[in-house]
Amino acid sequence: MNQLAIHQLLAGTYLESPAKKDLKPLFDKRLAANLGLIQELFFALYPGREDSFGDLLSILGALFRKRPEELRFQDLERLREGAWYQSEKWVGMQLYADRFNGDIPGLEEKIPYFEKLGINFLHIMPLTRRPAGENDGGYAVSSYTEIDPVFGTEADFKRLTSRFREKGICLMLDFVVNHTSDEFPWAQKARAGEPGYADYYYTYPDRTIPDLFEESLPEVFPETSPGNFTWIPEMDRWVMTVFNDYQWDLNYSNPKVFLAMLENMVALANKGVDVLRFDALAFLWKKIGTDSQNLPEAHMLISLFRLCLQVIAPGVAILAEAIVAPHEIVRYFGEGRFKGNECEIAYNATFMACLWNSVATKKTNLLNKSLRSIPPIPPGCSWVNYIRCHDDIGLGFDDRHIEELGWDPGAHRRFLIDYYCQRLDWSPARGAVFMFNPLTGDGRITGSTASLLGLEAALESGDAEAAEGVLDKIVMMYGIILASAGIPLIYAGDEIGMLNDYSYLRDKNKENDSRWINRPFHDWESVAALDDKGKLTSRIFDHISHLIRLRRANPALGGRGATVLHQSGNEHLFVFERRAGIRSILVIANFDENPQVLNASWASGAGYLEGGKYRNLIDGKESAVQSGLLEIPPYGLFWLEHKGGAPA
């Protein structure tokens, strides 16, 4: 039993009790329930630091007192539901407030748009203060809680969150837990020589330690920010900067940093945030002689954050932004005694990368192999499934799987980069390379969903048929994640097939970061014309909103239902079942440009065919198989309804 289940039990008895208004006894119970684990983790990370542990206990009490009453009751409601984020009803969208509609009030204005599309979960990109020039899209934070005036006022944000609560919209914000900007108050104090603050970061007087680290530390941004340390003349020291040189890595081996960050995290949650996206969390602990990613101490630290947050705000979930090797990602749900006690949610980055691999190869062999190798996630945990986000597509497949298919991993990755980044004249994709590292030959891919799938090229050459084919591909890709277990997250703009945005090349603060190609200003002109059904943009929107509605009405598609992957014998098809008895759904997607077939007797035995007939939930049409084969059109997507009766 994980801690969530225990807190559910505690809340259950409390909700029945008449003294419901006074929540302090509940805090005591929650603390008692988590204290043993908190203590164990704390002293494993900070041996002998009884002084800081005492500080932690008083901070927890103080933070609970600061949790607004409305949110404390929401926490109870969420506990009553348990793993609330597993519900099929959540469908998310990720967006930049400024690029979407100017600012926070502009975003509020668009609530009807979210409702029209069926979105009720928003990941809004960083909104807090950041340096004016380069700031990595706000991931260089100068404050964890103060809204940057470019987005609006504190009052605007407060109004937005209460409107979201009224409307049942869930809010996810980033907690940039690994680093701050070089303008953050702690960095400024360290620069000014204020005692103690240099130790909030990893700082060194000469190259001895940095050079030892560099022997095994990879580079995250090799093109724009080579090396992992930056010389700060005012301090006369080297500072660890794993990402950009203006993002200083926090030194969690100092317990003061953990305590201060815990306060920042809860302050952010107390603003009405439902899910905290733990940014770059794989990097939280650094150790010479390692790559300083996914270290056991990083996991302990994240669990420590989780267990403390659970005492104060058990209705708030943590999402792991761990874009790491497939077998490493699942470890962020917690292992051993900490299973289910680390992050509740994680990005399904392997799934995303494999879907793009399937588009390029037209085959689902690597996708099936990779998904089968991912161990089941702990109960009470969930994926976020996505096609595109604001970052690049990393080719984080397991080399072993590529080799088992008879391919060379290096050559295969090069093929994918060439396919997506305009290095093959027959490829319809219009992507760009992100951070090519000539030393290792590694690179990542960026571009919008529609451009990567060929829409930009089709429109440019006036090929209407090709454009229709891209529509099918977009619908197929989103149809897969909308039928998968986990929260589907649509990248704003994809719902109307927006293309790459090249304007970043004219901005000196962005020109070196090709990820901006896929951070477009929302196309409200196409949205205004959604009633014009002749337009491709309107049709993409209609297809996606239709799929969203179907998903939200089918509990089998939520996170609680089981998923069974099927080897169909046809390597162009991706076939999986979302099992829920007679409400089960069979999903079939064809990654090939030709029609493909599936043996109908199998689908019949599984209960999806009756008298040779099947019904696709997506168009509601009943069709009959011919010569015992179920035919799926090019880039076709079926969500077959279970016929009832037969075993599921």
Tokens 């690049």, residue located: 392
Comparing CB distances to ligand GLC, the nearer of 56 and 250 is 250
How many chain residues are in contact with ligand GLC, going by CB under 6 A?
10
Query: Measured in whole angstroms, how far is the alpha carbon of residue 512 from the centre of its chain?
Result: 24
Q: Is position 139 an interface residue for ligand GLC (rule: CB under 6 A)?
A: yes
Let me know: does 390 contact 350? Beta carbons within 8 Å: no
Comparing CB distances to ligand GLC, the nearer of 178 and 568 is 178
Site stretch for ligand GLC (CB under 6 A), options 49-57, 135-143, 146-154, 603-611: 135-143
- Let me know the angle formed at the C-alpha of 246 by 243 and 252, rounded to the nearest 5 degrees: 65
Give me the least distance between CB of 338 and ligand GLC, in Å please.
Answer: 24
Which residue of the set 321, 342, 442, 571 is catalytic?
321
Let me know: does 108 contact 135? Beta carbons within 8 Å: no
Give me the least distance between CB of 285 and ligand GLC, in Å please.
Answer: 16
Query: Is 472 considered catalytic here?
Result: no
Site stretch for ligand GLC (CB under 6 A), options 20-28, 133-141, 310-318, 348-356: 133-141
Site for ligand GLC in 156-195 (CB under 6 A): 176
Comparing CB distances to ligand GLC, the nearer of 349 and 648 is 349
Q: Is position 609 an interface residue for ligand GLC (rule: CB under 6 A)?
A: no
Site stretch for ligand GLC (CB under 6 A), options 72-80, 136-144, 565-573, 601-609: 136-144
Q: Is position 347 an interface residue for ligand GLC (rule: CB under 6 A)?
A: no
Contacts 24+ apart (CB under 8 A), 373-378: 373/326, 373/327, 373/398, 373/401, 374/326, 374/327, 374/329, 374/330, 374/350, 375/330, 377/330, 377/333, 377/346, 378/2, 378/333, 378/334, 378/339, 378/340
Tokens 């595109």, residue located: 388
Give me the least distance between CB of 139 and ligand GLC, in Å please.
Answer: 3
- Let me know the angle formed at the C-alpha of 62 by 57 and 64, rounded to the nearest 5 degrees: 100
Tell me how long the chain is. 648
First to last CA, the chain: 28
Single out the residue of 447, 347, 436, 355 nearest to residue 392, CA to CA.
447
Q: What does the radius of gyration of the chain's CA atoms come to, in whole angstroms? A: 25
Let me know: does 316 contact 275? Beta carbons within 8 Å: yes
Give me the least distance between CB of 152 and ligand GLC, in Å please.
Answer: 22
Q: Is position 279 an interface residue for ligand GLC (rule: CB under 6 A)?
A: yes
Q: Is position 391 an interface residue for ligand GLC (rule: CB under 6 A)?
A: yes
Backbone angles phi, psi at 551, to 5 degrees: -60, -45
Task: Give the residue at shortest CB distance from ligand GLC.
Answer: 139
Q: Is position 638 an interface residue for ligand GLC (rule: CB under 6 A)?
A: no
569 CB burial (10 A radius; 0-12, 13-18, 19+): exposed
Backbone angles phi, psi at 523, to 5 degrees: -90, 85
Query: Is 279 considered catalytic here?
Result: yes
Q: Is position 577 an interface residue for ligand GLC (rule: CB under 6 A)?
A: no
Among 280, 322, 452, 475, binds ligand GLC (CB under 6 A): 280
Comparing CB distances to ligand GLC, the nearer of 513 and 641 is 513
Which residue of the set 279, 398, 456, 501 is catalytic?
279
Among 46, 238, 243, 638, binds ligand GLC (CB under 6 A): 243
Comparing CB distances to ligand GLC, the nearer of 250 and 548 is 250
Give me the least distance between CB of 269 and ligand GLC, in Å please.
Answer: 19
Residue 1: Cβ within 10 Å count:
10
Comparing CB distances to ligand GLC, the nearer of 243 and 541 is 243
Backbone angles phi, psi at 21, to 5 degrees: -65, -35
In this structure, the strands spanning 179-181 and 203-204 are: unpaired
Site stretch for ligand GLC (CB under 6 A), options 132-140, 288-296, 409-417, 587-595: 132-140
Give me the least distance between CB of 157 and ligand GLC, in Å please.
Answer: 21
Comparing CB distances to ligand GLC, the nearer of 31 and 317 is 317
Give me the least distance between CB of 321 and ligand GLC, in Å please.
Answer: 6
Give me the least distance between CB of 87 and ligand GLC, in Å please.
Answer: 25
Single out the residue of 149, 183, 147 nearest to residue 273, CA to CA.
147
Site for ligand GLC in 87-106 (CB under 6 A): none
**Active-site residue set:** 279, 321
Instruction: Provide the binding-site residues for ligand GLC, judged by CB under 6 A.
Output: 136-137, 139, 176, 243, 279-280, 321, 390-391
